[in-house]
Amino acid sequence: MTGVALGQREPPFRLTSLAHGGGCGCKLAPSVLQQLLGKTSLASPFERLLVGTETGDDAAVWRLDDENCIIATTDFFMPIVDDPHDFGRIAATNAISDVYAMGGSPLMALAIVGMPIDKIPLDVVRDILAGGAAACAAAGIPVAGGHSIDSLEPIYGLAVIGRCGRENLRRNSTARAGDALILTKPLGVGVYSAAFKKGALPQDSYAEMIATTTRLNKIGAVLGRDANVHAMTDVTGFGLLGHALEIARGSSLRLRLDPSALPFLSQAESLARAGFVTGASTRNWESYGESVVFQDDPPLCRRQLLTDPQTSGGLLIACAAAAASRLVEEIRAADCPGASIVGRMEAGIPEIIVG
């Protein structure tokens, strides 16, 4: 039995059977992406381009005038679940998150659709699009158009346009020494998806996975207006360690994580111990493991959870330490009950210390 949660009936059509990967685990490894972008000139002749490719940030940002910015991003992937409506909701929620991670609010979206039309029923495609439209409606934006192609594997996502005030823009490279780190969603989506594909994910855990991956990171737009919030990013395909390292490198600081404070989905650790991990977790570690120091000798499954690719993951926030507790309470009240203080920024070489 594959592609179902324990207790579910075998679906009449399994989306995941048509894809070699799924969710943000499809992303290229960080090391490969660095090779592809490494020769791209960091010097831009466009003075209004405030954020480009220089720090691996979540979206591009263009200055309209002295007060206003436009945010642009795109994100798409192959199915992580078999239910087409859930797949559409997850993919759209994930794409919109990039705007929230920059401190902005989304304005509209364009659909990106690639489907093997000789293998997939049209009503399944309609359900995927409907799921994406539902997520956009929850974010208060329209799907204003898009583009579709006939492809070998099913692909869905969005290009999203957003806005923010220039003073509210938050990057992944502006953390300060002494900042506290807040994570807004629990980790373990990649582990859950690996178990799902092998028919080993309990039904209640499947519901838990859908709940977290379809929860919009709307709080990012609120946090962008708080002067105590210095930097933000969302945790997706590179895992917690990979996106934390982007903050450390961009800010030229050491980042320290408290492993006892990290939030996990309820069955993430037990499933990881049982071997339900993704290939992307291993690729992630191979890409940046030399910049991570564990102060104890954790079991392999714990390291794998920290490199686990998160589809539609939470925000990782660097904020003034004195405001961290208040911010956590505000984030929890905004439908992110798992938000926790998970570490801090320190002076030092750009690396991650776990412990």
* pLDDT number for residue 32: 60
Query: Domain locations in the chain?
Result: 5-168, 180-354
Residues with catalytic function: 24
Which CATH homologous superfamily contains domain 180-354?
Answer: PurM-like C-terminal domain (3.90.650.10)
What pLDDT sits at residue 2? Answer: 54
- Residue whose structure tokens are 């495609």: 125
pLDDT at 17: 75
Rounded distance between C-alpha atoms, residue 100 and residue 10, angstroms: 36
**pLDDT of res. 58:** 87
CA distances (Å), 140 to each of 85, 150, 218, in order?
18, 29, 11
**Residue showing tokens 């207790």:** 7
How, if at all, do strands 340-346 and 180-183 pair?
Answer: antiparallel
Whole-prediction pTM: 0.90
CATH, domain range 5-168: 3.30.1330.10
- Residue-by-residue pLDDT tens, the chain, 355 positions: 456 666 565 555 678 777 766 555 555 566 665 665 655 555 567 889 999 888 888 899 999 999 999 999 999 999 999 999 999 999 999 999 999 999 999 999 999 999 999 899 999 999 999 999 999 999 999 999 999 999 999 999 999 999 999 999 999 999 999 999 999 999 999 999 999 989 999 999 999 999 999 999 999 999 999 999 999 999 999 999 999 999 999 999 999 999 999 999 999 999 999 999 998 899 999 999 999 999 988 899 999 999 999 999 999 999 999 999 999 999 999 999 999 999 999 999 999 999 9
Structural contact between residues 224 and 170, judged by C-beta atoms closer than 8 angstroms: yes
Structure tokens at 102: 């920059």
Give me the pLDDT at residue 3, please.
Answer: 62
